[in-house]
């Protein structure tokens, strides 16, 4: 990889084999939700052949069906490779006592962390109940809208927000709530990608892939949930009162085009996550926001898919891992 971050080898499936697609998980037995929302949670919204969450209907524009769940598990593996098998880059990779995973999705990260750290208490939160039924005793899942007031009364010492860039319309408020629900000395970490895609030569220019990522960013901006603000979230952390803010830039090649073996491996897994996800990521934004028909969107996605397969296109997404610490009580002078 470029000097931004070194990526070590990690155990993974053989490159010439497709990623294992897990069976669709059942609704977690440990899921908790308000009584008023219980009847809404499983009343999924179905649109253009895909399934979406019903709780806080329409807020999150990517689906929650089995195909999307498989993609999310691939993305989780991609992040683990990117971080050298670590759960995070902040000091809470080990020994966190009480952990909150924002937008847990299938719960893969929360389950892995709980398995690895049996003394930790891990809570995963999401709009959709798509987590597995059987979980470690130190892990549970809750269904809730994280844009509403958080109601936990016991503080956490580690909060993670991975792939949440589309989930908050008010990141200032999200930062404030994370700050409020951390104990002094606790850590908050964001792991996310930055759109649109970029390229250091001319191989991307004018392609459907370039156009798609710019259209996705434009549509997301119109919804008030921009995809192109990840790099600036560190500034919002500082404004919320966090200290020791650290930002690490990483790269996700769109396909296994790099000569560097480590980057090529990341490109393989990025491609594996994007190819089955293009339509799911696009349909709601293109039909609800850009006024495309579903048929037009699907045809365009097929064109994009062909370019994701093209290793002559040297494109990549930038990503950022941003972590910070809530000051100890003695350090909080001047923060309100």
Determine the average pLDDT of the residues in 267-285. Answer: 98
Lowest mean pLDDT segment, chosen from 17-26, 47-56, 119-128, 294-303: 17-26
**Mean pLDDT of all residues in the chain?**
89
* CA distances (Å), origin 151, targets 56, 122, 155, 169, 269: 17, 16, 10, 19, 37
Q: How confident is the model at residue 304 (pLDDT cuts 50, 70, 90)?
A: very high
> Does residue 299 form part of some domain?
yes
Walk across the sheet containing 243-253 and list its strands: 139-143, 121-126, 98-102, 156-162, 182-199, 315-325, 243-253
Q: How confident is the model at residue 37 (pLDDT cuts 50, 70, 90)?
A: low
Q: How confident is the model at residue 329 (pLDDT cuts 50, 70, 90)?
A: confident
Q: How many CB atoms lie within 10 A of CB 7?
A: 19
Confidence at residue 73, expressed as pLDDT on a 0 to 100 scale? 98
Predicted confidence (pLDDT) at residue 21 exceeds the cutoff of 60: no
* CATH code of the domain covering residue 171: 3.40.50.150
> Does residue 25 form part of some domain?
no
Cis bond before residue 139 (omega within 30° of 0)? no
Q: How confident is the model at residue 41 (pLDDT cuts 50, 70, 90)?
A: confident
Residue 279: domain span: 35-331
Confidence at residue 39, expressed as pLDDT on a 0 to 100 scale? 61
Confidence at residue 293, expressed as pLDDT on a 0 to 100 scale? 98
Determine the average pLDDT of the residues in 48-55. Answer: 92
Predicted confidence (pLDDT) at residue 60 exceeds the cutoff of 90: yes
> Does residue 26 form part of some domain?
no
State how far the Cα of 57 lies from the Cα of 51, in Å rounded to an integer. 12
Give rounded-to-5 percent helix, strand, coil for the chain. 35, 20, 45
Confidence at residue 220, expressed as pLDDT on a 0 to 100 scale? 98
State how far the Cα of 122 lies from the Cα of 233, in Å rounded to an integer. 24
- Strand 156-162 relative to strand 98-102, pairing: parallel
Confidence at residue 130, expressed as pLDDT on a 0 to 100 scale? 95
Predicted confidence (pLDDT) at residue 318 exceeds the cutoff of 60: yes
Determine the average pLDDT of the residues in 81-87. Answer: 98
Residue 322's beta-bridge partner residues? 190, 247
Predicted confidence (pLDDT) at residue 302 exceeds the cutoff of 70: yes
Given a contact cutoff of 8 angstroms between Cβ atoms, the answer to whether 315 and 205 are in contact is no
Q: How far is CA 38 from the centre of its chain?
A: 25
> Does residue 29 form part of some domain?
no
Q: Which among 93, 109, 78 has a CA at the least distance from the CA of 7?
A: 78
Given a contact cutoff of 8 angstroms between Cβ atoms, the answer to whether 322 and 208 are in contact is no
Confidence at residue 26, expressed as pLDDT on a 0 to 100 scale? 32
| Number of helices (H), then strands (E), in the chain | 9, 9
- Strand 98-102 relative to strand 121-126, pairing: parallel
Secondary structure of residue 312 in the 3-state scheme: coil
> Does residue 235 form part of some domain?
yes
State how far the Cα of 155 lies from the Cα of 236, in Å rounded to an integer. 21
Q: How far is CA 35 from the centre of its chain?
A: 28
Predicted confidence (pLDDT) at residue 336 exceeds the cutoff of 90: no
Q: How confident is the model at residue 90 (pLDDT cuts 50, 70, 90)?
A: very high
Confidence at residue 174, expressed as pLDDT on a 0 to 100 scale? 98
Given a contact cutoff of 8 angstroms between Cβ atoms, the answer to whether 44 and 64 are in contact is yes
Confidence at residue 223, expressed as pLDDT on a 0 to 100 scale? 97
Lowest mean pLDDT segment, chosen from 237-241, 252-256, 304-308, 329-333: 329-333
Sign of the CA dihedral running 141, 107, 169, 244: positive
Q: How many CB atoms lie within 10 A of CB 50?
A: 19
Confidence at residue 19, expressed as pLDDT on a 0 to 100 scale? 39
Overall domain count for the chain: 1
> Does residue 190 form part of some domain?
yes
* pLDDT tens digit sequence for 91-128: 999 999 999 999 999 999 999 999 999 999 999 999 99
Residue 190's beta-bridge partner residues? 161, 322
State how far the Cα of 112 lies from the Cα of 100, in Å rounded to an integer. 13
State how far the Cα of 158 lies from the Cα of 151, in Å rounded to an integer. 16
């Amino acid at each position: 990889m470029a000097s931004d971050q070194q990526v070590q080898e990690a155990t993974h499936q053989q490159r010439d084999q497709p990623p294992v697609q897990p069976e669709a998980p059942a609704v977690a037995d440990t899921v908790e939700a308000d009584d008023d929302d219980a009847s809404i949670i499983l009343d999924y919204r179905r649109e253009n052949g895909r399934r979406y969450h019903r709780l806080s209907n329409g807020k999150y524009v990517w689906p929650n069906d089995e195909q999307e769940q498989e993609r999310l598990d691939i993305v989780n593996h991609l992040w683990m490779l990117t971080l050298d098998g670590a759960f995070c880059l902040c000091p809470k990779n080990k020994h966190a006592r009480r952990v909150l995973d924002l937008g847990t999705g299938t719960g893969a990260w929360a389950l892995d962390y709980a398995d690895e750290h049996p003394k930790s208490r891990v809570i995963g939160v999401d709009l959709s109940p798509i987590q597995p039924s059987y979980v470690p005793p130190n892990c549970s899942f809750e269904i809730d809208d994280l844009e509403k007031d958080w109601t936990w009364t016991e503080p956490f010492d580690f909060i993670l927000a991975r792939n949440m860039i589309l989930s908050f319309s008010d990141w200032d408020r999200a930062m404030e709530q994370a700050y409020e629900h951390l104990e002094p000395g606790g850590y908050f970490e964001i792991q996310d990608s930055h759109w649109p895609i970029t390229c250091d030569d001319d191989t991307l220019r004018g392609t459907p892939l370039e156009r798609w990522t710019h259209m996705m960013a434009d549509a997301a901006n119109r919804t008030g949930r921009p995809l192109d603000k990840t790099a600036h979230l560190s500034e919002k952390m500082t404004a919320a009162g966090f200290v020791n803010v650290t930002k690490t830039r990483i790269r996700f090649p769109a396909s296994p085009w790099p000569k560097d073996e480590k980057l090529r491996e990341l490109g393989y897994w990025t491609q594996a996550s994007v190819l089955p996800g293009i339509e799911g990521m696009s349909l709601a934004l293109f039909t609800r926001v850009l006024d495309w028909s579903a048929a037009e969107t699907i045809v365009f996605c097929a064109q994009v898919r062909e370019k994701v397969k093209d290793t002559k296109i040297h494109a990549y997404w930038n990503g950022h891992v941003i972590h910070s610490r809530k000051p100890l009580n003695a350090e909080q002078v001047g923060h309100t």
